[in-house]
Chains A and B, each alone.
Chain A
Amino acid sequence: MLRQDLVQIAAWIPPNARILDLGCGDGTLLAHLRDTHNCSGYGVEIADASVLACVRRRVSVIQADLEAGLRFFPDDMFDTVVLSQTLQAMRNVEAVLREMLRVGRHGIVSFPNFGYWRHAVSLLAGHMPVSPEIPYQWYDTPNIHLCTPKDFELLAARLGLRITDRALLAGGVPVHFLEHLRASVAVYRFERR
């Protein structure tokens, strides 16, 4: 079972594409894309256990800090660069987005929607939100750059990224009515303008 945002990401990736998956975790997405789309590529991952899991899946993985890890890759090497559920934990969001489009033609990011209605309810009740998408307490969270879809779109415009596709997911399915409140996860595909 693929995570809901990964299903959406896979749907946007054409067969035989060369993929870079930043923060690839246990290599689930890359293994899936290899087995179903005949894709090839690399994952970048920092955690020892995840690197081992990738090797067990026969996924090519490079152990590095994401922000440094992009230096391994020459310009225009990939069709698509994926950053799933990681953007919100990056120190330098702008640099990462720019780097994604240096090494790849398309970028795909997914991130938890901080504007999800349950999060708003938590805030109204006086607490930082804790949900399946952002399951951390405020004092031990890796998430330092949470945002909403509209926030991301503003940044994308400022960085000159052209958004080609967007999926706002609630319970794993795209929603189109009150989507900024109903969606718990946002997924964007973008390219150079």
Chain B
Amino acid sequence: MSTSAAPGTASVGIVSPQRMHFAQPLILASGAALREYDLSYETYGTLNAERSNAVLICHALNASHHVAGVYADKPRSAGWWDNMVGPGKPIDTRRFFVIGVNNPGSCFGSTGPMSPDPASGRPYGASFPVVTVEDWVNAQARLVDALGITRLAAVVGGSLGGMQALAWATQFPQRLRACVAIATTPKLSAQNIAFNDVARTAIQSDPDFHGGDYYAHGVVPRRGLSVARMIGHITYLSGEDMTERFGRSLRSEEYAFGYGAEFEVESYLRYQGDKFAEYFDANTYLLITRALDYFDPARAHEGDLVRALAPAQARFLLVAFTTDWRFAPARTREIVSALVANGRDVSYAEIDAPHGHDAFLLDDARYHQLVGAYFVRLAEELG
């Protein structure tokens, strides 16, 4: 247990990350293997005696195992889904034992491109194997094993995290009661892949990238990473949300007739990009966007998503947001249709929220009430 909930607050309180070492190789979809690896994770709440109340949270592109709570030494370090997970929150840590796990290939603690390659002792860098959503799920399942949990109450994720939740449902059908997939898609569109490619090209064309082995040169492809983040960020917001927040506002009264960050939106995006480049690893960005591109469970079934999802036994909650154009509601509806065709227990909510793809991370009463209600029912079943 790593939590100490402060009474009277709706936060899980002070948390600390943990690490687990896995000595058995992880065989990857590519045919390569991770010979050994570590996973960083956090847990909140208490595992019940039956070990039936565990909820696994899967993270998206730029997040980590730090889902909820704060670190003791950093007061402004709230977890990325702190509004969703905590005492009295939709995923209520008074009832559920919540696990946040960092995926291999990430740059937040689990083994990734920045970690030393045991073969050479030097950072993996560009030689870190390409991992897929399915590989992540296999790695997560080993952590769940090691925590002594046979069957999860739920696997939950938004965006890329939702893909992992879906993959759990077909890779380990007996190991989860409920699959909660939010703002996700059964596969990226050509447009989605195109945005990812522009982001990767920005990173790879930064002179400081050095083919991915920039660690040895003591530099970081900061400019490329920043541009990648700017592009990504645009796809997370809705057009109307950007209009609402920035419009055409200028930082000063008049045009400067130059190319600096004159518009508020430029200033915002550049700030977001630069901030991101401070803490995110460029190789991880390449790797995670590629995992997004490759996710396509129907591919092994001649494009038939119904057959791809046929092994699933869990019950499903799918949520999409009307202004999300990155993974639009129509994409989630494809998943819903395929689950319905398989006769699965599925509920689908389409939340009319203004914030685009990012809505899955934000406070919205309808969204949070819905997820909360779903978990209340789930908790009742666990007894």
Do A and B share a complex?
A: yes
A interface residues, Cβ below 8 angstroms from B:
40, 42, 48, 51-52, 54-56, 58, 60-64, 71-74, 77
25 residue pairs A–B, Cβ–Cβ below 8 Å: A40-B345, A42-B340, A42-B346, A48-B349, A48-B351, A48-B352, A52-B369, A55-B317, A55-B347, A55-B349, A55-B373, A55-B374, A60-B315, A60-B347, A62-B336, A62-B340, A62-B347, A63-B348, A63-B350, A64-B333, A64-B348, A64-B350, A72-B333, A72-B337, A72-B340
Alpha-carbon gap, A55 to B352, bound state (A) = 17
Interfacial chain A residues near B315, Cβ < 8 Å: 60
Alpha-carbon gap, A183 to B18, bound state (A) = 68
Distance in angstroms from B354 CB to nearest chain A CB is 15
Assess the A56–B373 pair: CB atoms within 8 A: yes
The 8 Å CB contact of A74, one of B341, B351, B369, is B341
Distance in angstroms from A146 CB to nearest chain B CB is 29
Alpha-carbon gap, A60 to B377, bound state (A) = 12
Q: Told that A63-B348, A63-B349 touch, could you supply 5 new A-B pairs with CB distance under 8 A? A: A40-B345, A51-B347, A51-B349, A58-B377, A62-B348
* B370 contacts A by Cβ under 8 Å: yes
Interface residues of B in 346-370 (CB under 8 A from A): 346-352, 366, 369-370
Interfacial chain A residues near B351, Cβ < 8 Å: 48
Alpha-carbon gap, A56 to B369, bound state (A) = 10
B interface residues, Cβ below 8 angstroms from A:
315, 317, 333, 336-337, 340-341, 343, 345-352, 366, 369-370, 373-374, 376-377
Assess the B366–A52 pair: CB atoms within 8 A: yes
Alpha-carbon gap, A118 to B351, bound state (A) = 41
Task: Give the 3 A-B residue pairs with the shortest CB-CB distance, closest first.
Answer: A55-B373, A62-B348, A63-B350
Alpha-carbon gap, A40 to B346, bound state (A) = 11
Interfacial chain B residues near A71, Cβ < 8 Å: 337
Interfacial chain B residues near A58, Cβ < 8 Å: 377
Alpha-carbon gap, A52 to B351, bound state (A) = 11
Interfacial chain A residues near B377, Cβ < 8 Å: 55-56, 58
Alpha-carbon gap, A71 to B336, bound state (A) = 11
Assess the A52–B373 pair: CB atoms within 8 A: yes
Assess the B340–A73 pair: CB atoms within 8 A: yes
Alpha-carbon gap, A77 to B340, bound state (A) = 9
Interfacial chain A residues near B343, Cβ < 8 Å: 77
Alpha-carbon gap, A91 to B347, bound state (A) = 25
Interfacial chain A residues near B374, Cβ < 8 Å: 55
Distance in angstroms from B164 CB to nearest chain A CB is 23
Alpha-carbon gap, A91 to B373, bound state (A) = 32
Distance in angstroms from A84 CB to nearest chain B CB is 20
Distance in angstroms from B281 CB to nearest chain A CB is 38
Alpha-carbon gap, A55 to B370, bound state (A) = 7
Interfacial chain A residues near B373, Cβ < 8 Å: 52, 55-56
Interfacial chain B residues near A51, Cβ < 8 Å: 347, 349, 370
| Beta-carbon nearest neighbor of B351 in chain A | A48
- Whether A72 touches B349, Cβ cut-off 8 Å, given contacts A52-B373, A55-B373, is no
| Beta-carbon nearest neighbor of B377 in chain A | A58
| Beta-carbon nearest neighbor of B380 in chain A | A58
Alpha-carbon gap, A73 to B343, bound state (A) = 10
The 8 Å CB contact of A54, one of B340, B345, B347, B366, is B347
Interfacial chain B residues near A54, Cβ < 8 Å: 347
Interfacial chain B residues near A74, Cβ < 8 Å: 340-341
Distance in angstroms from A69 CB to nearest chain B CB is 10
Alpha-carbon gap, A62 to B348, bound state (A) = 5
Assess the A62–B346 pair: CB atoms within 8 A: yes
Interfacial chain B residues near A42, Cβ < 8 Å: 340, 346
Distance in angstroms from B284 CB to nearest chain A CB is 35
Alpha-carbon gap, A123 to B373, bound state (A) = 45
Assess the B366–A60 pair: CB atoms within 8 A: no
Interfacial chain A residues near B369, Cβ < 8 Å: 52
Alpha-carbon gap, A120 to B109, bound state (A) = 75
Distance in angstroms from A74 CB to nearest chain B CB is 5
Alpha-carbon gap, A55 to B351, bound state (A) = 14
Assess the A72–B336 pair: CB atoms within 8 A: yes
| Beta-carbon nearest neighbor of A57 in chain B | B377
Distance in angstroms from A192 CB to nearest chain B CB is 21
Alpha-carbon gap, A165 to B366, bound state (A) = 40
Interfacial chain A residues near B340, Cβ < 8 Å: 42, 62, 72-74, 77
Alpha-carbon gap, A64 to B197, bound state (A) = 34
Interfacial chain B residues near A62, Cβ < 8 Å: 336, 340, 346-348
| Beta-carbon nearest neighbor of A48 in chain B | B366
Alpha-carbon gap, A52 to B373, bound state (A) = 7
Distance in angstroms from B320 CB to nearest chain A CB is 9
Interfacial chain B residues near A40, Cβ < 8 Å: 345
| Beta-carbon nearest neighbor of A46 in chain B | B350
The 8 Å CB contact of A52, one of B333, B337, B352, B370, is B370
Distance in angstroms from A53 CB to nearest chain B CB is 9
Interfacial chain B residues near A77, Cβ < 8 Å: 340-341, 343
Alpha-carbon gap, A81 to B345, bound state (A) = 17
Alpha-carbon gap, A73 to B341, bound state (A) = 7
The 8 Å CB contact of B346, one of A48, A52, A60, A64, is A60
